[in-house]
Each structure stands twice: as C-alpha cells, then as structure tokens.
Amino acid sequence: MGSLSKQEQVECREKAEYANVNWDELGFALTKTDYMYVMKFTEEEQMFCNGTLIRFGNIQMCPSSGILNYGQGLFEGLKAYRKEDEGILLFRPEENALRMKVGADRMCMPSPTVDQFIDAVKKTVLANKRWVPPHGRGSLYIRPLLMGTGRNLEVKPSSEYTFLVYASPVGNGLKGVLNLMVEDNVHRATPGGTGGIKAVTNYSPIYKPLTEAKAKGFSDLLYLDALTGSNIEECSGCNIFILKGNVISTPTTHGTILPGITRKSIMEIASGFGYQVEERATPIKEVFDAEEVFCTGTAMIVKSVASITYQGKRIEYKLGAETLAQKLHATLTGIQTGVNEDKLGWTMVIDGPPFL
C-alpha cells in the first residue's frame, strides 16, 4: 500500500456527507472505514517519522516479527464525538499518548511522541470524517497500535516498529446490564507482569474463563489479586467502583490494574459532586454490602452492575435513572459530545482538511 494520491487527498477533503450506515444498529464491532495512518521506526532512523495516511486494509509483515512471535505490542482506545453543530471532539488524547509511552517503556519499545500520537489520531479521524456518527448516535472508536515488526527469530526486542491508527464507528456503549462472576482460579495479572499497561498479551489468556462464564449467562468476570485472592482488581476490560454512603472505592492501580482514562475522569467528576473517592485495596467482602457497583471503560463509558456472584452467592445492586452511575454517565458523555461545558479542558476540537 502507498500513500494517498493528490486526487484522493482532494476527494477526502471534500467529503462532508455521512457514510451509508444504519447508525441506530451500531454495536461494538469493526466497520471498515476509508483510511488508516502508518508510521515507522527503523534502526537507521532511530525515530518515528514519515507518517502517512493510506487506504484501510490488510498489512504485511515478516512471519518472524516481534508482534507475531513474542507478542511485543501495545494498543490504545479512544473516541471522537460529533457535536450538535457537526464539529468533532476528541476526549483526552494526550492521556492515551502518555499511557502508550509508559507501556512502551515496559515492553522495551520506542513510542511516538505525544505530538506525533495526537497528530496521527487527528489525521485518522479527519480522513474518516464521514464515519463519525451523528450527534448522540455513537462515536468513532480509534485504535492506535504499536507493534514490533522487525525480523526477529531470537527472543529480544524488535529492530523495527510500526505505529498504526485505524478507526471504526461504534454505538453508544455496550448494551444490556452487567452481571459479573468473581473468578477465583484464574488471575488476569500478577505483580511484576504487564497488567498495568495495554499490552496485547493481557487479553487472550482470559478468553477461556470468560467464554465459560458467558456460557453460564454472565456478562464478564471480576478478577481477584494474585497474591492474596481476597481483593478485587478489575474486569476483563474495564475498571470497577463500589459505592457505600458518600464513599466511592476503587482498587489502586499498583501495576496489575490498568489506569483507565475513563476511570480517572470519573474519579474527578465524582469528587466534584462531593463524594469521597478512595483508591485502595478493596476486599471482595465489601461487595456484599455495597449500595451500588459500576464499571468504567472507553467502550462502555460508565455502566451499572446489576449483580455479582461469588462462590455461589449472588448480590444484586441498585439500577435505574436515579443511580450515581447514570448521573456520572450523563455528565461525562455530555462533556464528550459538547453538550456540557468542558470546564476541565478534557476535549480537543478537530476540524479542517485531513492533510496538514
């Protein structure tokens, strides 16, 4: 694949219409869009450079590349939202860029600078502008990937890396209620591992217990800490919060829990509402007398937990319009979509031609 021709660039600039999509039926699945962004790091250059937009499609790499053989890879996830006036907002992209840099250091990889990361995201969104759903009917999910793509038979860091950004329109959060089962045999992460970064290797090891849990009717698993088996950590792809009285508790991100950007944002919003927000070791026994439990993540945003089942005992929680989770969800999505004033400086307006 090559970079876009001048004619393609002109066409991309002129596209202001919406893609032919049934926006009301969007879930969280890949819809092929028009373009993606690619930037390379080589031994010769020793830096990421010459990023370019190319047509969305398959990529080629050596069978011995680090990502394929040894899982040397990271990914991020963020969204672009359409405002009522048709403008487009990004939500805290610098946080994703910084988190990727932390993950890259742990995985012995170079990473794009914050400016390079944000520039790549902006160009990807603008090149796929017609795929950003209408206001209130979804968002454009953006997936930056950082991969070891050099030839590598020996167990060692790759010599070359690829930073790739693609995007897909998605619906408004994950549908249905959350019914969690506590997993006390398989651990999502261990101290000293990679649980605190978005390494590609974090996810497939939990497919087996997650598939088994879903076959029993559960939405997701809630994992316990590997050292004591007595503290909750997080779910397969989202952080968790417990409400009791005026106190909101969430497990500390001490290396085994991903520091979610939605998590961080919700903590700030909840504190502004007057709640006491605590990051601490959270014993599993505390779920038994919690008034409300909710999860946060880029895909789901904020979602109430209907029940948690632990060792055969099912605990149910408050649901509905009056819950704190609903209030937090409305506040955050209002900021993300430009309905609420962004007093915290979290959103970034992007507009204009895709090629700068």
Which residue matches tokens 């819809």? 31
Strand pairing partners for 284?
none
Written in H, E and C, the secondary structure of the chain is CCCCCHHHHHHHHHCCCCCCCCHHHCCCCCCCCCEEEEEEECCCCCCEEEEEEEECCCCCCCCCEHHHHHCCEEECCEEEEECCCCCEEEECHHHHHHHHHHHHHHCCCCCCCHHHHHHHHHHHHHHCHHHCCCCCCCEEEEEEEEEECCECCCCCCCCCEEEEEEEEEECCCCCCCEEEEEECCCCCCCCCCCCCCCEHHHCHHHHHHHHHHHHCCCCEEEEECCCCCCEEEEECCCEEEEEECCEEEECCCCCCCCCCHHHHHHHHHHHHCCCEEEECCEEHHHHHHCCEEEEEECCCEEEEEEEEEECCEEEECCCCCCCHHHHHHHHHHHHHCCCCCCCCCCEEEECCCCCC
Which position among 198, 216, 264, 303 bears the catalytic label? 198
Asked if residues 286 and 323 have their Cβ atoms less than 8 Å apart, the reply is: no
Is 198 tagged catalytic?
yes
Which sequence positions are flagged as catalytic? 198
